[in-house]
Amino acid sequence: MSLTLEQATQILQGALQNARAANYKPMGVVVLDASGQMVAFAREDGASMFRFDIARGKAWGAVGMGTSSRALAERAKDNPTFFISLAASADGKFLAQPGAVLIKDAQGQVIGAAGASGGTGDEDEAICMAGIQAAGLVVG
């Protein structure tokens, strides 16, 4: 199964609805497929120009490394040189900061990642998880 545009749109809508219900700052949310290609992105009115780059970097790192960006941030603490080198070799598309999670299908296969920017890492992660669940998919 591959991630569809309809599913990605549902993830965006669910994530942004969750952000508004929690009264978070204006968010940017990106949904990538399993190969790191963007399927959908939304930036709320009032969100800064950096939202896309940050959300994409978190999601790109998560899908590329096969784990949440929170886990990557934890791993980076023990091996900063590797993660700095990884970010440099990825032309700035890799961010090891909380705020992105994997998207899995019902069989547990990774089909993409969702990343957000605008709030704290916990807030960004929470809205991504809410969006994935709203689309009927599994958070990885």
* Span 89-135, pLDDT tens digits: 888 789 999 999 999 999 999 999 999 999 999 999 999 999 999 99
Q: Which fold has domain 5-139?
A: Beta-Lactamase (3.30.450)
Contact in structure between 68 and 125 (CB atoms under 8 Å): yes
Rounded to an integer, the average pLDDT of 66-87 is 93
Q: Measured between alpha carbons, how far is 97 from 116 in angstroms, rounded to an integer?
A: 11
Going from N- to C-terminal start, the domains of the chain cover 5-139
The residue with tokens 């080198």 is 85
Rounded to an integer, the average pLDDT of 60-82 is 95
Whether the predicted model's global pTM rises above the 0.75 cut: yes
What's residue 87's pLDDT? Answer: 87
The mean pLDDT value of the chain amounts to 96
